[in-house]
Chain A
């Protein structure tokens, strides 16, 4: 019996008197499987006093943006040509905008060859479903026309096209 008590007493001595808690952090980094890079910045040509255009025939250069996707059928590419100048001299009138986006080049003819015919036009934005892994180059054209056929004042004009990679 003693021995039992002792044993009991010993057992009581081994029981902790308080509960200790710890928080273990778990972190992780998710790298995007969709990367957007500017391949060629565009430039506006000035074929007449009231027009700025990126068409080569008008003396401009189209902008080219590249989407690199390493996960198939997981992203949309949405590209919107500019609708305003981000910097420009004071303008005498309203400017009307037109824009066009098209697939210029692909890295996989089989998987990406129909991107252009399958695209969705959502207002001014073109949406492409990136169903294959690899790189796709999109060409962006933009034309700005001054209202009333008034001349663009001299100066530097900058407009920004927006390219977004959206997870499905």
Chain B
């Protein structure tokens, strides 16, 4: 007798864990998707919480800690901490609340609700959970109930344009659609001759087009060749010139202590002065 069996890898074994602190701000409310890890097969079994009560000794403060039902119909759990008159400020509470095993989808928002003249300090709410990796059997082929997926290839009708009587391309009057069965031998011979002639003409046109293409390609290739030659001009001999090092002394030496005016320059200067003088005098009609 053969019995069905399943082999499990470590990753398929249920495991346990705890969340971090669900209370992250002063609103004292939290959303469970933000608190719980992602696996779908997660079930919460225990809630642990603690906080420090802040109140005057004579005050009565009620603190409610819980989670709403996901469908909004009530509470999954709701703990009531009644701090009566006489309980001291600064007292902590540490509480462990067993809730059975409740799937993550059923958990609504969490809350700490303080009623009365008091507050809570350092609230800490932690959820203890169990994860069944095979909650969805399709998670792994090793999961019980796994069904090998079937790939369904959709069948498409292949469009045959030649068989489409509604196509705009279809024209029974076109000579391509002429029925050759109704033609005589002479007409058929004449038609074949025309088709042969047309075929030769098309061949000539094709060859001419091929020649033109070859010539164009050749010209293009030559142009590219010349361009590459120009790019390959060796400029290194210009770039590699170096200037010898050392000191370059000034070669101009002025031996005379007094430099006389250039006589030719003086003459030129006087001539220009004279010309300027004449121009000025012309303004005064002199």
User: CB-CB contacts of B87-110 with A at 8 A, as 1s and 0s?
Assistant: 110011111100000000000000
Instruction: Please name the residue on chain A nearest to B55 by beta carbon.
Output: A113
With beta carbons under 8 angstroms apart, the residue of B84, B91, B95 that contacts A116 is B91
On whether the beta carbons of B86 and A105 are closer than 8 Å, the reply is: no
Asked if residues A114 and B94 are in contact (CB atoms below 8 Å), the reply is no
Q: Whole-angstrom distance from the CB of A40 to the nearest CB of chain B?
A: 13
Any A CB within 8 A of the CB of B272: no
Query: Is B196 part of the contact surface with A, judged by Cβ < 8 Å?
Result: no
A128 at the interface (CB under 8 A from B): no
**CB pair A116 B81 closer than 8 Å:** no
Residues of A within 8 A of B82 (CB): 109-110, 113
The residue from A110, A113, A118, A135 contacting B91, defined by CB atoms under 8 A apart: A113
B199 at the interface (CB under 8 A from A): no
B88 and chain A: residue at smallest CB distance: A116
- Chain B residues near A117: list those with CB within 8 A: 57, 86-88
Does A34 touch B at the CB level, under 8 Å? Answer: no
> Within the assembled complex, what's the spacing in Å between the Cα atoms of A26 and B114?
54
A151 interface residue per 8 A CB criterion: no
Asked if A113 and B86 sit within 8 Å, CB to CB, the answer is yes
Q: What CA separation (Å) do A162 and B76 show in the bound complex?
A: 42
In the complex formed, the residue of A with least CB distance to B86 is A114
Does B125 sit within 8 A of A, measured CB to CB? no
Whether, in the assembled complex, A106 has its beta carbon less than 8 Å from a beta carbon of chain B, the answer is: yes
Q: Is A70 an interface residue (CB 8 A)?
A: no
**Within 8 Å CB of A105, what residues of B?**
50, 91-94
Tally of contact residues, A, Cβ under 8 A: 15
Task: Tell me whether A109 and B87 are in contact (CB under 8 A).
Answer: yes
Minimum Cβ distance to chain B for residue A65 (Å): 14
Q: Which residue of A lies closest to B57 (CB)?
A: A117
- B96 interface neighbour in A104, A107, A113, A114, Cβ under 8 Å: A107
Which A residues are CB-close (under 8 A) to B81? Answer: 109-110
Cβ of A107 to closest chain B Cβ, rounded Å: 6
Of A107, A108, A118, A137, which one neighbours B86 at CB under 8 angstroms? Answer: A118
Decide if B88 touches A107 in the complex (CB within 8 Å). no
A140 within 8 A of B: no
Q: Contact: A110 with B96, CB < 8 Å?
A: no
Encode contact with B along A112-125: 1 for CB under 8 Å, 0 otherwise.
01101110000000
Q: Is B53 an interface residue (CB 8 A)?
A: yes
Query: How far does the alpha carbon of A104 sit from the alpha carbon of B52 in the complex, in Å?
Result: 10
Is A103 at the interface (CB under 8 A from chain B)? yes
Interface string of A55-66 (1 = CB under 8 A from B): 000000000000
- Residues of B within 8 Å of A114, CB to CB, are 84, 86-87
Give Cα A109–Cα B92 distance, bound, in whole angstroms.
Answer: 9
Q: In the bound complex, how far is the Cα of B95 from the Cα of A118, in angstroms?
A: 22
Residues of B within 8 A of A135 (CB): 94
- Give the contacts of A126-144 with B (CB-CB under 8 A): 135, 137
B92 is contacted by which of A106, A108, A110, A118 (Cβ under 8 Å)? A106
Chain A residues contacting B87 (CB-CB under 8 Å) are 109, 113-114, 116-117
- Bound-state CA distance A63–B263 (Å) is 115
| Interface status of B63 (Cβ within 8 A of chain A) | yes
Question: By the criterion CB–CB under 8 Å, are A110 and B84 in contact?
Answer: yes
21 A/B residue pairs, CB under 8 Å, sorted by A: A103-B88, A105-B91, A106-B91, A106-B93, A106-B94, A107-B93, A107-B94, A107-B95, A108-B95, A109-B82, A109-B93, A110-B81, A113-B82, A113-B86, A113-B91, A114-B84, A116-B87, A117-B57, A117-B88, A135-B94, A137-B92
Q: Which 8 A-B pairs have the closest CB atoms?
A: A113-B87, A105-B92, A109-B81, A114-B86, A110-B82, A117-B86, A116-B88, A109-B83
